[in-house]
């Protein structure tokens, strides 16, 4: 059929979808995980990181959307029509206070970047990498928006 890297799941039996014993697990020590991934290329690791971020990290705009949906949802009744919902959504988006936008999107993003930066600095031994990495701390004042 010309397909490679395809997995066929016959049913949900655990023995059909089991992983080999040497598959890295989250309970392994850092040293064992690093040893298991020595052969992974940087691009493979970044692909794994991107997948994790896509599945588990929500964009800050989601907080703003939750704010808008909350306000519209509280006005919902059994007689609410789609036209009513559309009208309420338009009104909600047109009246979002600027401090809500700032706190939901901008401040939240800065906080998350600082948290991730601190985590990476605490958990990573940069001497393991054969690259020149600038590990200077993030500026306390991240006010520039690109």
Ordered mean pLDDT values, 10 residues apiece, the chain (146 residues): 60 58 75 71 72 75 85 88 91 90 84 80 64 55 48
Q: How many CA atoms lie within 13 A of 119 on its CB side?
A: 6
C-alpha 105/C-alpha 58 separation (Å) is: 11
Tell me if 104 is assigned to some domain. yes
Tell me if 82 is assigned to some domain. yes
Tell me if 142 is assigned to some domain. no
Domain residues for the domain of 22 are 14-128
Tell me if 143 is assigned to some domain. no
Three-state secondary-structure class, residue 127: helix
**Burial class of residue 71 (count of CB atoms within 10 Å of its CB; 0-12, 13-18, 19+):** middle
Q: Which residues are CB-neighbours of 137 under 8 A, at least 6 positions away?
A: 117, 121
DSSP state of 38: T
Tell me if 92 is assigned to some domain. yes
pLDDT, tens digit (0-9, with 9 covering 90-100), for 6-35 = 665 555 555 555 666 777 777 878 777 777
């Amino acid at each position: 059929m010309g397909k490679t890297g395809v997995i066929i799941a016959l049913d949900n039996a655990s023995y059909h979808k089991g992983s080999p014993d040497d598959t890295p697990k989250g309970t392994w020590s850092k040293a064992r995980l690093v040893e298991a991934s020595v052969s992974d290329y940087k691009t493979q690791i970044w692909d794994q990181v991107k997948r994790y971020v896509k599945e588990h990290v929500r964009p800050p705009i989601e907080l703003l959307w939750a704010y808008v949906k909350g306000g519209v949802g509280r006005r919902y009744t059994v007689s609410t029509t789609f036209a009513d919902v559309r009208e309420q959504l338009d009104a909600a988006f047109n009246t979002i206070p600027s401090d809500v936008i700032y706190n939901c999107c901008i401040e939240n993003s800065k906080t998350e970047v600082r948290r991730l930066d601190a985590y990476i600095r605490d958990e990573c031994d940069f001497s393991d990498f054969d690259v020149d990495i600038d590990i200077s701390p993030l500026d306390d004042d991240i006010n520039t928006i690109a």
